[in-house]
Structure 1
Amino acid sequence: MSYTGMPIDDDLLVKYLVGEATPAEVEAIQNWIAASPANRQEYDNFKLIWDESQYIASTKNLDEDASYFRLQKRLNNTGPATAKPAPVRKMKASWWVGIAASLLLVCTVTWLTISHYYDNRNIAFIKVESEAKTREQTLPDGSIVTMNSHSTLIYPEKFTGKIRPVTMLGEAFFKVTPDKTKPFIIRVNGVTVRVVGTSFNVKSRDGKTQVIVETGIVNVSEKNKNVNLNPGEKVLVTGKDGLQAKESIKGRLYNYYATHELLCDETPLNELVGSLNEVYGAHIVIGNKAIANLPITTVFKDQSLDQVLVVISETFKIKVERGKKGIVLK
């Protein structure tokens, strides 16, 4: 799918994010986002800039110019262990985009250095991008992060302060090395995830952030709300509704990119279908509402979509119909 509509620039994206775009501009931007994974990633990166800049602007009075140059220097001089930074889009000179651009460069360094946790003159930061593949990254404390495709992780070269802070965009599975004296804290899309040692998945796409816990206890906070998640629980944070009530999960579908395994444990069929669409890039719909919540218990590991659909068909005695628009279960 290619995009042939109006040019999409930074000014137009900011108008869209602040709700001042015209209906025609909204439609053009949404078509542009849907046209390719590269456009989607570019929009997600831009939205992260905007969301983080608003958070920082509302909580801190910053020396923007000084922070800008400190962060630029660190990201460009972090040594051989640093992943090569992706090209940065050049912002235009409009007032509001200028503010967003300045605060983007401020937000990461400010988050990592607030409350005297770090000496601004000595700490370097590492920026890792997974691009179009999954990537495993070991952090200074031994924690292991498995990043899904099109994700970004930024963290200090050393965890020398009272916390272990990182920022991220996209999706990643964390196995955090336990340290009760130094909490591990993630900032993502205006949400704070706080742990001392556990494993969990964080996914932030399309303005929604989801946290699912596999082991240990994870605290998730957004604005003035927070919730503790135990193993087998998840929570969703959206721009419209904020931090929602936590829920229990059935099985482990969330980190297929890391395990190559879909573990169903009384998992409703509609949840499995959602994961299959994401994992295989398919378009599967449930044509009969009566089967949407039927539970399935099985494990799919490195199987083709056709093999998975055969199991589903035989388990529920349902039909799998393929058409030009996708696959229908009924």
Structure 2
Amino acid sequence: MSSANIHMDDDLLVKYLAGEATPAEHQQVEDWVAADETNKKLFDDFKLIWDQSPVTERDVNKDDAFIRLQNRINSNVAPPRGPMIKKLSRKQWIGIAASVVLICTVLWLTFNHIYDNGSVSFVRIDSKDKVQTQSLPDGSVITLNTRSTLVYPGRFTGNIRPVSLRGEAFFKVSPDKTKPFIIKVNDVTVRVVGTSFNIKSREGKTEVIVETGIVQVSKKQNSVDLNPGEQVTVIKDQDLLAKQQSKGKLYNYYLTGQLVCDKTPLSEVVQALNEAYGAHISIANKSLESLPITTTFKGQSLDEVLDVISSTFKITVVRKNQQILFK
């Protein structure tokens, strides 16, 4: 039988990704992936779930699996509760691995993996260069900005509603207190039961801004609750979560077609303009960065927006090729 027709066991994929596979098992997975494009897609999807989902050394259970699978079982990761486990023995790891196998099996079913003559599928949306809106099985509505990816199950089973995000999206989550809605984006976890908010993860920064409801944002053992009008920015390789008030609604321009400024610093407006118009604006005079502006841009051309900013702050706009400087 060819590798293309072999159904790969979840536990073997877990051992492979965890670095616990024997040389023979490692080669078996490699041969299976290389044998067929469908197998490769299956492996890539499974690895995406693995990479996006942390699990600590202890308290492994299927309800929280999705949000704890990424912190690999090693001596350098501290659990969110209880004493630190400095090092796990192979026997301990085997016990945890067995639980992870169960977890992955549950996730596998949750993500609606359907075996049919070796084929497998679940819902993955790549927005590429177009903004896309997608309704989820629970009635939640997600609007993806360009260059973003959303992965979610064909139907939600179990006690959570897990999805994975890369890039930026605006979430309108249907309320369900019995099934928290969990978003994994890089090493950040966002947990809600019903609310609307924006998540943006680009260039090592993950930003969460809440429009309605309460949103819990976590990274490792640190977490913060955000209320409407509050935001948090999580920097890669930093654990501190400090929330602040959001100024205006620059974050959802791709959803509403407008940039709402409310005493918003000019530096943030420039960043939003660069994203919204594909421009290359920079502030040459650093003293201008904190200048606040209150206005709404809707439907104006970039030149019209620049005229408003120039007249508001009495600053000079200099163009050089594709570059635009505020002086």
Name the structure 1 match of 2:66.
111
Q: Flag the structure with larger Rg.
A: 2
Q: Deviations over 1:169-226 (max 9, x none)?
A: 1110001111111110001102110001111111111222111111111001011111
Name the structure 1 match of 2:138.
141
CA contact (8 A) 1:165 1:184 kept: yes
CA contact (8 A) 2:52 2:187 kept: no
1:19-168 correspondence runs (5 A): 57=18, 103-104=47-48, 106-107=50-51, 111=66, 114=103, 120=109, 123-124=112-113, 125-168=122-165
1:275-286 correspondence runs (5 A): 275-286=272-283
CA contact (8 A) 2:250 2:261 kept: yes
What is the distance in 2 between the residues matched to 1:272 and 1:287? 15
Question: Does residue 237 of the first structure (1) align with residue 234 of the second (2)?
Answer: yes
Q: 1:135 to 1:218 in 2, by over 3 A?
A: same
TM-score, normalised on structure 2? 0.67
CA contact (8 A) 2:281 2:323 kept: yes
Q: Which runs of 5 or more structure 1 residues have no equivalent in the other structure?
A: 1-52, 78-86, 91-99
Name the structure 2 match of 1:258.
255
1:240 Cα deviation from its structure 2 partner: 2.4
Identity of aligned pairs, percent? 54
Letter in 2 for 1:324: N
2:205 to 201, 204, 208: 208
What is the distance in 2 between the residues matched to 1:168 and 1:117? 20
Letter in 2 for 1:150: R
What is the distance in 1 between the residues matched to 2:252 and 2:209? 10
CA contact (8 A) 2:111 2:154 kept: no
Letter in 1 for 2:273: L
CA contact (8 A) 1:118 1:160 kept: no
Q: 1:207 to 1:216 in 2, by over 3 A?
A: same
What is the distance in 1 between the residues matched to 2:306 and 2:229? 26
Q: 1:272 to 1:67 in 2, by over 3 A?
A: farther
1:57 Cα deviation from its structure 2 partner: 4.8
Please state whether the residue corresponding to 1:272 is helix, strand or coil.
Answer: helix
Number of residue equivalences:
253
Q: 1:64 to 1:186 in 2, by over 3 A?
A: farther
* Greater than 6 Å deviation, 4+ residue runs: 63-68
Please state whether the residue corresponding to 1:242 is helix, strand or coil.
Answer: coil
What is the distance in 1 between the residues matched to 2:124 and 2:155? 13
Q: Deviations over 1:135-166 (max 9, x none)?
A: 00000011100001111111111112211110
CA contact (8 A) 2:188 2:219 kept: yes
1:107 Cα deviation from its structure 2 partner: 4.6
What is the distance in 2 between the residues matched to 1:127 and 1:144? 15
1:123 Cα deviation from its structure 2 partner: 2.9
Name the structure 1 match of 2:188.
191
What is the distance in 2 between the residues matched to 1:227 and 1:121? 28
Q: 1:178 to 1:116 in 2, by over 3 A?
A: farther
Please state whether the residue corresponding to 2:248 is helix, strand or coil.
Answer: coil
1:297 to 294, 307, 311: 294
Letter in 2 for 1:291: L
